[in-house]
Amino acid sequence: MRLTNVARMTLPQGRVRSLVFPAEVVPDAEPLTLSFDQARHVSAGDRPGSWMALSFRLRTPAAPDEIADAWATVIDRHGTLSTVFDRDEEGLVRVRPARLGVGRWVTHPAAPERLTREVLRDVLDDGCRPFATPSHRLCLIEPEGGADPTVVIASDHAHVDMWSLLVLGRDLAEIIDDEREARAPGAALPRARAFAEHSADLAARPPAPEAITTRWAEILDAEGGQMPLFPLTLGSVAAAQAEIVDVRDVLNGPEFEEFGERAASMGVRAIALAVSVMTRVSLAMGDQPLRAVFPVHSRHDPQWHDSVGWFITNAVIEASDPSPHACARAVKEAIGLGSHPLGPILAPYGGMPATPGMFAFSWLDTGRLPVKPDRLRDIQYVSAVVRTDGVMIWFIANESGLHLRCRYPDTPEARRNVGAWLDAVHSGLRDTIDA
């Protein structure tokens, strides 16, 4: 499983086709509940590069018509794929149910010298914008010479997270098998509740306890009322800059297994040991605690494990003591901070303050997920190419090891400082198993 972006992903040369569905808003339907993060994301406006994708090959190859039929069933399973965004009379974003028609394959011709991934990028930038109707696409990359096609499932981020993409890939493969075996498509899959129901449940919760609100204020106030900033200078980032993407395979499969065993011997999980390394680096290089935006999922109830949506919300983590046990407590605290509706908590700050220089990191251990994409191979998590003014790190852990992807602005200072910070973290993670 690779963690990459569309400018670096591995794709064969071949024909690019996408499955396009006509869609219209259901007449007289009431708007659905809009989540805090959906509103924040979509309010930034229609734009390219707001999508995320999963590419893979099926273990049992399928014909385009089989894939199209199965994908239509997947759409019917997951409510968010039949919703669209627009603005009301006052200009506020809303999400509304839509009716999708019959999908048709569209071929995207390109000059022979163009890379397949460049064509794919154009298709997804155009079709997976926040206000597209719908804002998701399924694409086929059909290699020259008749090799097995690569499937790409992509959507604007407002409808999916990384966990959701695995759900979609798993469902597609299983439904294809069902159709071939004359079984009811998807009958054996768990029920998938609509993401709008989750948003409504979250909105109905009581306000966060005072201790949670106070701790959020303490961490934000430490940065002058802003979200946490990268501890070293990034140069001029008042305006977003072209991105640099640094992709690293930090530990291979056996090494990550050893890393997890080392963490377990200390009575903590692997993420706590990784936070310990990052905390030491922040103290040594920035003379300050590790302080970062820390995305956490909100699928705590198993009824949401097989649903698709943006089940990720932002927390913040602060770790000043690099001991693994202290870092485990910092992770636990961050998860708690992200377990309450953020709208009321962040209202005094005008919503989530997206400050130039913001620092965030994400951790996803796919081996711990209840979703097992056993029918998929050559999986790649794919992000768009964007301009950025902050530093975002993704860690992906799976049977092939621990992988890191970092996005940061292309300035001389960021090249020097983020690069050195990543080198130190990379070395520190490896030193943990070499010690």
- pLDDT (tens digit per residue) in 68-120: 999 999 999 999 999 999 999 999 999 999 999 999 999 999 998 999 999 99
pLDDT category, 328, cuts 50, 70, 90?
very high
Domain parsing of the chain, residue ranges:
2-201, 209-434
Which DSSP string corresponds to 320-363?
---SHHHHHHHHHHHHHHTSS-HHHHHGGGTSS---TTBEEEEE
Residue 127 has pLDDT above 70, yes or no: yes
pTM of this structure: 0.94
Amino acid identity for residue 334 in this structure: A
How far apart CA 361 and CA 28 sit, in angstroms, is 41
28 or 108, greater pLDDT:
108
Which DSSP string corresponds to 65-108?
HHHHHHHHHHHHH-GGGGEEEEE-TTS-EEEEEEEE---EEEE-
pLDDT category, 36, cuts 50, 70, 90?
very high
287 contacts 320 by C-beta, under 8 angstroms: no
- Could you give the 3-state DSSP secondary structure of residue 246? strand
3-state secondary structure 315-332: EEEEECCCCHHHHHHHHH
| Residue 220: per-residue pLDDT | 86
Look up the CATH architecture of domain 209-434. Answer: 2-Layer Sandwich (3.30)
How far apart CA 118 and CA 425 sit, in angstroms, is 32
With a pLDDT cut of 90, the percent of the chain lying above it is 85
**Once rounded to an integer, what is the mean pLDDT over residues 244-255?**
95
Q: Which residues contact 47 (CB under 8 A, 6 or more apart)?
A: 129, 130
With a pLDDT cut of 70, the percent of the chain lying above it is 100
**Once rounded to an integer, what is the mean pLDDT over residues 116-134?**
97
- Of all helices (H) and strands (E), which one includes residue 423? helix 412-434
361 contacts 294 by C-beta, under 8 angstroms: yes
**Once rounded to an integer, what is the mean pLDDT over residues 230-246?**
95
Superfamily of domain 2-201: Chloramphenicol acetyltransferase-like domain (3.30.559.10)
Q: Which residues contact 340 (CB under 8 A, 6 or more apart)?
A: 205, 207, 208, 209, 212
Burial class (CB in 10 A: 0-12, 13-18, 19+), 228: buried
pLDDT category, 209, cuts 50, 70, 90?
very high
Residue 244 has pLDDT above 90, yes or no: yes
| Residue 353: per-residue pLDDT | 81
Sheet order of strands, 23-25 included: 23-25, 93-100, 83-87
Mean pLDDT of the chain: 94
Residue 350 has pLDDT above 90, yes or no: no
Residue 406 has pLDDT above 90, yes or no: yes
Kindly tell me the sign of the dihedral angle through the C-alpha atoms of 151, 367, 306, 345.
Answer: negative
276 contacts 290 by C-beta, under 8 angstroms: no
Residue 46 has pLDDT above 90, yes or no: yes
Residue 33 has pLDDT above 90, yes or no: yes
* Token pair in block for residue 200: 């409504």
**Once rounded to an integer, what is the mean pLDDT over residues 145-171?**
95
Per-residue pLDDT reduced to its tens digit, 362-374: 999 988 889 988 8
345 contacts 213 by C-beta, under 8 angstroms: yes
**Once rounded to an integer, what is the mean pLDDT over residues 326-337?**
96
| Residue 435: per-residue pLDDT | 65
Nearest Cα residue to 163 out of 369, 20, 325, 301: 369
| Residue 158: per-residue pLDDT | 97
Burial class (CB in 10 A: 0-12, 13-18, 19+), 116: buried
How far apart CA 334 and CA 321 sit, in angstroms, is 15
**Once rounded to an integer, what is the mean pLDDT over residues 424-431?**
97
How far apart CA 276 and CA 175 sit, in angstroms, is 43
Per-residue pLDDT reduced to its tens digit, 408-422: 999 999 999 999 999
Residue 196 has pLDDT above 90, yes or no: yes
| Residue 154: per-residue pLDDT | 98
Nearest Cα residue to 249 out of 365, 384, 380, 395: 395
pLDDT category, 6, cuts 50, 70, 90?
very high
Compute how many other C-beta atoms are within 10 angstroms of the C-beta atom of residue 386: 15
120-124, 165-169, 204-208, 230-234: least confidently modelled range: 204-208
Residue 1 has pLDDT above 80, yes or no: no
- Could you give the 3-state DSSP secondary structure of residue 229? strand
**CA 310, chain centre distance (Å):** 9
The one-character DSSP state at 268 is S
How far apart CA 309 and CA 158 sit, in angstroms, is 7
| Residue 252: per-residue pLDDT | 96
Does this chain's domain 2-201 share its CATH topology with 209-434?
yes
